Amino acid sequence: MVELDKSRLRADLPIGFLDSGVGGLTVVKQALRQLPNETIRFIGDQARLPYGPRPASQVVHFTWQMVHFLEDQGIKMLVIACNTATAAALPALQKEMTIPVIGVINPGSKAAIRASKNGKIGVIATEGTVKSGSYARAIHTQKKSVQVQSVACPKFVTLVESNEYQAPIAKQIVAQGLQPFANSGIDTLVMGCTHYPLLRPLIQNVMGSGVTLIDSGAETVNGVAQLLDVYHMAATRKVGEDHYFTTGSPTMFKTIAMQWLELSGMNVDKAVID
């Protein structure tokens, strides 16, 4: 573990967020609400998504490339707003970076344990996250007796990225993806991919009102707020403009992002990271 670089822990610097695509905006949405004085730098690697089916070593490599891009933007903290990247790269990032780094899996796991009354928790995530066993591990470390059922729903990411998450086809794909939970008895379902909260109404509809949905990304923002306090670097007023980058098409990114974040305008540019 390297030491944090105190000269980088300044209140006036932006917070960096990264994801494979627009999913990380579910974390940003919560940050904009909860931490309105903070300045955002976001990068989505849309040119190379989805990350879910990729080998962990490749996800680690791509994640570092985005991290270097954000570091060049002069960030004070890094939020891995992607479960797949958190599962693959968080320990290495926390060990080697000189600013605080937070991922989405621990906050989501804690919230799920708090929410579940019957000790049966479902997790939906990408293949990479499910294969890593990260959620089951994080949940069992805190509470051994909990039963965890993890299911990969790769088609959900495509629905969101193609901006079809409100189209009629989405309902059918979500119902199919959640089929393994029929009669599972779970009372809590973790949306363990930051793209999935865009499908929240459809997911809730299939699971029924008796199942509590956990938005890992939104939970993470509580952790971000705590870290800002611990390092005395919470911004007291907004000093700069938020800036969003994608390795894919800025136009496509902007269409989804402005709608999801309910903004009338935003700065989006193309990023070249390799």
Catalytic residues: 82, 193
Residue type at position 186: I
Report in angstroms how near the CB of residue 236 gets to ligand DGL at its nearest: 31
Nearest-5° Cα angle at 30, 26 to 36: 135
Q: From 70-78, 190-198, 202-210, 242-250, give the range in contact with ligand DGL by CB under 6 A.
A: 190-198
Strands (E), 153-238: 188-191, 212-215
Report in angstroms how near the CB of residue 155 gets to ligand DGL at its nearest: 11
- Residue 151's contacts (CB-CB under 8 Å, 6 or more residues apart) are 122, 123, 124, 125, 130, 177, 178, 180, 181
Supply φ then ψ for residue 222, to 5 degrees: -60, -40
Q: Which of these, 115, 91, 132, 127, lies nearest to 190 by C-alpha position?
A: 115
The strands making up 120-125's β-sheet, listed across from edge to edge, are: 147-152, 120-125, 188-191, 212-215
Report in angstroms how near the CB of residue 83 gets to ligand DGL at its nearest: 4
188 in contact with ligand DGL (CB under 6 A) = no
Q: From 141-149, 187-195, 202-210, 266-274, give the range in contact with ligand DGL by CB under 6 A.
A: 187-195
The residue among 57 and 236 lying less far from ligand DGL, judged by its C-beta, is 57
Report in angstroms how near the CB of residue 99 gets to ligand DGL at its nearest: 21
Binding mask 69-108 for ligand DGL (x = CB under 6 A): -------------xxx------------------------
- Residue 148's contacts (CB-CB under 8 Å, 6 or more residues apart) are 121, 122, 123, 135, 136, 139, 140
Stretch 13-72 residues interacting with ligand DGL (CB under 6 A): 19-21, 23, 49-52
Report in angstroms how near the CB of residue 237 gets to ligand DGL at its nearest: 31
Q: From 177-185, 192-200, 207-215, 245-253, give the range in contact with ligand DGL by CB under 6 A.
A: 192-200
The residue among 67 and 193 lying less far from ligand DGL, judged by its C-beta, is 193
The residue among 194 and 212 lying less far from ligand DGL, judged by its C-beta, is 194
Supply φ then ψ for residue 160, to 5 degrees: -70, -45
Peptide bond preceding 50 in cis form (omega within 30 of 0):
yes
Q: Decide: 48 and 62 in contact? Cβ < 8 Å.
A: yes
Q: Decide: 261 and 24 in contact? Cβ < 8 Å.
A: no
The residue among 49 and 221 lying less far from ligand DGL, judged by its C-beta, is 49
The residue among 77 and 104 lying less far from ligand DGL, judged by its C-beta, is 104
Report in angstroms how near the CB of residue 156 gets to ligand DGL at its nearest: 9
The residue among 39 and 129 lying less far from ligand DGL, judged by its C-beta, is 129
What's the rounded Cα separation, in Å, for the pair 75 and 239?
13
Q: For binding to ligand DGL (CB under 6 A), which residues are involved? A: 19-21, 23, 49-52, 82-84, 126, 129, 157, 193-195
